[in-house]
Amino acid sequence: MSNTIALLIDHWKADPRSTFNTWFLWAERLKNFRSIRRGIGQVVRDIDAGTFGNVYRGSTLQTVVGSVAEQRQIFKGADHAFLWKPKLRIPDIYENAGNQRAFARLLNACDCCDTAQAVIEAIRKIDALKIKGLGPAVANLLYFIHPTLVCPFNTAIVNGFNAVTGSNVKLGRWDHYLTMREGLIRLNEQHRHKLSNDLGAIAGLMFDVGSGRYAAPPRLQEPAVVALWETDLQRIREESAAAQKQWLLANESDATHTQIQGWLRDMGMSLGFDVWIASNDRSRAYANGFLADGCLQRWPDATAQGLDSVRLIDVVWLIRDSAQVAAAFEVEHSTSIYSGIVRMLDLALGTQVGAASTLFLVAPDNRREEVAHQLKRPAFSRVSELGIRYLSYSQLKEHREAIGRFGSSLKPVLEISQLL
């Protein structure tokens, strides 16, 4: 059985459309951890202060859960468990103040601890209260706090785990979730050299099995049965590679995240600024070289608050030979606006951002209304102080060369962007 699981993992990792390649290795995935964790902390503070309210929509919880739900296919539908069902009065954390505070204690306990034992203890405490409608779906929040201690949870992951291991884990029960978690950790340990200490990887494999993309390894280890299963694995891999190639050809004219970063890099250099490229994007191929070519190798102020988050901002222009930020750009090609705004807040609160500094959200033309809507959420009440501007792809594409050639300051960039 172990050999067939190892083979399944190999095919899964080689499949360009598996969750391993489309989500686990997705550069934006790592960027979202800090912003989601910070959002969870804000939920706790709102509940403690009595300002959370008694509805889901418009709350900081909706903002955070919505950001989780946008983390590609494995978290699709993660917000369903938190939507208020008035006829069933679930999940009972909106109208019941005591349950709401217990939910905050769970989030805070996991945010403050750093051991598996402490996380499990916090889960067992909330389970003992039997809060109606508040089940293991909460693990999707806890995962972004402790990815090496908590695994994601949904129907497909449970189905995949049951199919691979022959277990009978049921949805909606914390004790069953903890049993599945232990099983996944054991499975992960057996194949650690092929997977990761981040439990998102093994959960992604279970998701792809549970959603029907792959068949679980056969129980009967007869050569003919195993050979047929291996043939199906290879077929899926080949079909996926062909589909991926067609998709890339069909979308090669689209403005990509890396291309936009490259445009901003080149324009910043032409205007005489030092340029910083997000630390996890530096090695991306661009213009016969790498995206970080000619850019700062390290952030100029090693003492800046929130440095881990700031270093992930897509592009930052700094006054030459200083730590003074002139402009910062978050490129929101198709991902949640939430994470980019949180990184902007970290930059504004922890670095040398003065009155002359300008913060930009750069997005496709059809996302302007979405960006404006997100900024009106209560969770972003402090954002209005930052004067964030919207810069559309089309305006950047049309004017970038002229600005780089004839510009000498931020003025022309301000003229082609809009205050939000």
Counting the structural domains of the chain, the total is 2
Per-residue confidence (pLDDT) for residue 246, from 0 to 100 = 58
271 and 199 part of one domain: no
Q: Is residue 36 part of a domain?
A: no
Neighbours of 376 (CB within 10 A): 12
92 and 203 part of one domain: yes
310 and 366 part of one domain: yes
Q: Is residue 263 part of a domain?
A: yes
pLDDT category at 249 given cuts 50, 70, 90 is very low
**Which residues span the domain enclosing 201?**
2-26+72-210
267 and 383 part of one domain: yes
Q: Which of 210, 235, 270 is the last residue of a domain?
A: 210
Contacts of 373 (CB under 8 A, 6+ apart): none
pLDDT (tens digit per residue) in 198-243: 999 999 999 999 999 888 888 766 666 567 666 766 776 676 666 6
Per-residue confidence (pLDDT) for residue 194, from 0 to 100 = 94
Q: In what order do the strands lie in the sheet with 352-363?
A: 274-277, 315-318, 324-331, 352-363, 389-392, 418-419
pLDDT category at 252 given cuts 50, 70, 90 is very low
Query: What is this structure's pTM?
Result: 0.73
The DSSP annotation for 17-73 comes to: TSHIIIIIT-HHHHHHHHHHHHHHHHHHHHHHHT-S-S-STTSHHHHHHHHHHTSSG
> Rounded to 5 degrees, what are φ and ψ at 356?
-85, -5
Per-residue confidence (pLDDT) for residue 225, from 0 to 100 = 59
Query: Are the C-beta atoms of residues 221 and 363 closer than 8 Å to each other?
Result: no
96 and 166 part of one domain: yes
Per-residue confidence (pLDDT) for residue 251, from 0 to 100 = 46
Report the C-alpha gap between 82 and 43 in whole angstroms: 13
Contacts of 300 (CB under 8 A, 6+ apart): 274, 318, 322, 323
| Residue located via tokens 């914390």 | 174
Per-residue confidence (pLDDT) for residue 378, from 0 to 100 = 65
Pairing of strands 352-363, 389-392: parallel
Report the C-alpha gap between 273 and 317 in whole angstroms: 6
180 and 117 part of one domain: yes
Q: Is residue 103 part of a domain?
A: yes
Q: Enter the DSSP assignment of 408.
A: -
Per-residue confidence (pLDDT) for residue 302, from 0 to 100 = 76
Report the C-alpha gap between 290 and 283 in whole angstroms: 6
pLDDT (tens digit per residue) in 282-329: 888 888 889 999 999 998 887 776 677 778 889 999 999 988 889 999
Report the C-alpha gap between 208 and 233 in whole angstroms: 12
Q: What is the mean pLDDT of residues 376-396?
A: 77
Q: Enter the DSSP assignment of 356.
A: E
* Alpha-carbon separation of residue 391 from 173, 330, 331, 375 (angstroms): 46, 10, 9, 15
201 and 286 part of one domain: no
Query: Are the C-beta atoms of residues 200 and 143 closer than 8 Å to each other?
Result: yes
Q: Is residue 226 part of a domain?
A: no
Q: Is residue 192 part of a domain?
A: yes
174 and 266 part of one domain: no
Is the pLDDT reported for residue 377 higher than 80?
no
Per-residue confidence (pLDDT) for residue 222, from 0 to 100 = 61
Q: Is residue 269 part of a domain?
A: yes
Q: Is residue 203 part of a domain?
A: yes
Whether residue 300 has a cis bond before it, omega within 30° of 0: no
Report the C-alpha gap between 283 and 302 in whole angstroms: 21
Q: What is the mean pLDDT of residues 366-372?
A: 79
Q: Which of 210, 242, 276 is the last residue of a domain?
A: 210
pLDDT category at 352 given cuts 50, 70, 90 is low
* Alpha-carbon separation of residue 405 from 270, 401, 408 (angstroms): 7, 6, 9
Q: Which of 210, 238, 271 is the last residue of a domain?
A: 210
307 and 377 part of one domain: yes
167 and 267 part of one domain: no
156 and 266 part of one domain: no
284 and 184 part of one domain: no
Q: Is residue 231 part of a domain?
A: no
* Range among 55-64, 98-107, 160-169, 388-397 with highest mean pLDDT value: 98-107
| Residue located via tokens 């699709």 | 76
Across the chain, what does the average pLDDT equal?
A: 85
* Alpha-carbon separation of residue 191 from 4, 28, 197, 306 (angstroms): 12, 25, 10, 35
